A and B are shown apart, each in its own frame.
Chain A
Amino acid sequence: QVTLRESGPAQVTPTQTLSLTCSFSGFSLNTGGMCVNWVRQSPERALEWLARIDWDNDKYYSVSLKTRLAISKDTSKNQVVLTMTDMDPVDTATYYCTSGYSYGPKYWGHGTLVTVSS
C-alpha cells in the first residue's frame, strides 16, 4: 500500500524559503521507473504541477517557477524534499506530493496547507 505524507511549516513570511518534505512508503525511489511529483492547489482550487524527481535522480521543474524550486531525494529515508525560495502571498496553497507515472499521478498525499503572510 502506497502512502505519502507531506510535512513542513504551515506559515511562512514573504521572501522566506519554504522547505517541504514528502515521506512515503510502499515503493522505493531506487526502483526503475518510479518518480515523485509535487503539485499545489490554490485556494481557488486550481491545480499546478511544480516539480518531479525520478528514480535515477533526473529532475524536472515548472518553467514558470524553475528559478525558485529545488527537489531532492533521500532514498535511505524514503523522503523527497522540495524547496521554494522567495515565497510570496500568491504562493499560498495546499502542497501535495504524488507518486505514480511520469505522465500523471496515481497516489496523492493528504496535502499540507502553506500560508504566506507577514
Chain B
Amino acid sequence: LMLTQPHSVSASPGKTVTISCTRSGGSIASNYVQWFQQRPGSSPTTVIYEDNQRPSGVPDRISGSIDSSSNSASLTISGLQTEDEADYFCQSYDNSNRHWVFGGGTRLTVL
C-alpha cells in the first residue's frame, strides 16, 4: 500500500483548492482515509477522519471525499485563507500488516 500526494499546490485567497491522495495497492474504499494539517512549527492536527468526517472545530469549508474510479481521496478547501497555508498529509490503514501508511505530504501555499 502506498499513498501518493502532489508535492505542492498553490492558490489565491478566497479560491478553492483540492489535494489528491492516490492509493496504489488495493482499493481506496477498503480502509478509511484521514487528513492532517500541519502548520509550520506545529504538530499535525486531524482535519478529516473516516474519509469525510470533520472533527469538532474544523470549519465546513474543509471537506474530504473518495473516488473509486481514480482510486484516490481528496481534500478540498474552499474560501482559502492565509491560515490554511500548511502541509497536508493523508493516511490510511494496511490490513495486511496493521500499519498506518502516510502520504508524502502536500505543501499548500496561499498566494
Answer whether A46 and B100 are a contact pair too, CB < 8 Å, given A104-B49, A105-B46: no
Q: Determine if A8 is an interface residue (Cβ-Cβ < 8 Å).
A: no
A45 x B43 contact (CB < 8 A): no
Q: Within the assembled complex, what's the spacing in Å between the Cα atoms of A102 and B91?
A: 12
Which of B13-21, B68-76, B101-109 has 4 or more CB atoms under 8 Å from chain A? B101-109
B31 x A103 contact (CB < 8 A): yes
Answer whether A104 and B93 are a contact pair too, CB < 8 Å, given A49-B101, A49-B102: yes
B:10-49 near A, CB below 8 Å:
31-32, 34, 36, 43-46, 49
Q: Within the assembled complex, what's the spacing in Å between the Cα atoms of A47 and B92?
A: 12
Q: Determine if B98 is an interface residue (Cβ-Cβ < 8 Å).
A: yes
B43 x A96 contact (CB < 8 A): yes
Q: Within the assembled complex, what's the spacing in Å between the Cα atoms of A47 and B103?
A: 8
Residue-wise, chain B 71-111 has the 8 Å CB interface mask toward A (1 for contact) of 00000000000000001010111000111111011000000
Q: Determine if B6 is an interface residue (Cβ-Cβ < 8 Å).
A: no
A111 x B100 contact (CB < 8 A): no
Q: Within the assembled complex, what's the spacing in Å between the Cα atoms of A46 and B87?
A: 11
Q: Within the assembled complex, what's the spacing in Å between the Cα atoms of A62 and B97?
A: 8
Chief secondary structure at chain A's binding surface? strand
A100 x B97 contact (CB < 8 A): no
A106 x B43 contact (CB < 8 A): no
B102 x A62 contact (CB < 8 A): no
Q: Determine if A24 is an interface residue (Cβ-Cβ < 8 Å).
A: no
List the A side residues contacting B105 at CB < 8 Å. Answer: 45-47
Q: Which residue of A lies closest to B103 (CB)?
A: A47
Query: Of the candidates A45, A103, A110, which one forms a contact with B87 in the assembled complex, judged by CB atoms under 8 Å apart?
Result: A45
Q: Within the assembled complex, what's the spacing in Å between the Cα atoms of A64 and B100?
A: 13
Query: Of the candidates B46, B49, B93, B104, which one forms a contact with A108 in the assembled complex, judged by CB atoms under 8 Å apart?
Result: B46
B98 x A60 contact (CB < 8 A): yes
Scoring B43, B92, B93 by chain A CB atoms within 10 A of each residue's CB, the highest score goes to B43
Q: Which residue of A lies closest to B99 (CB)?
A: A49
Q: Which residue of A lies closest to B104 (CB)?
A: A46
Q: Within the assembled complex, what's the spacing in Å between the Cα atoms of A60 and B93?
A: 13
A62 x B43 contact (CB < 8 A): no
Assuming A100-B46, A104-B49, what are 11 further A-B pairs, CB within 8 angstroms?
A46-B104, A47-B44, A48-B102, A60-B98, A96-B43, A96-B44, A101-B49, A103-B92, A104-B34, A106-B46, A107-B46
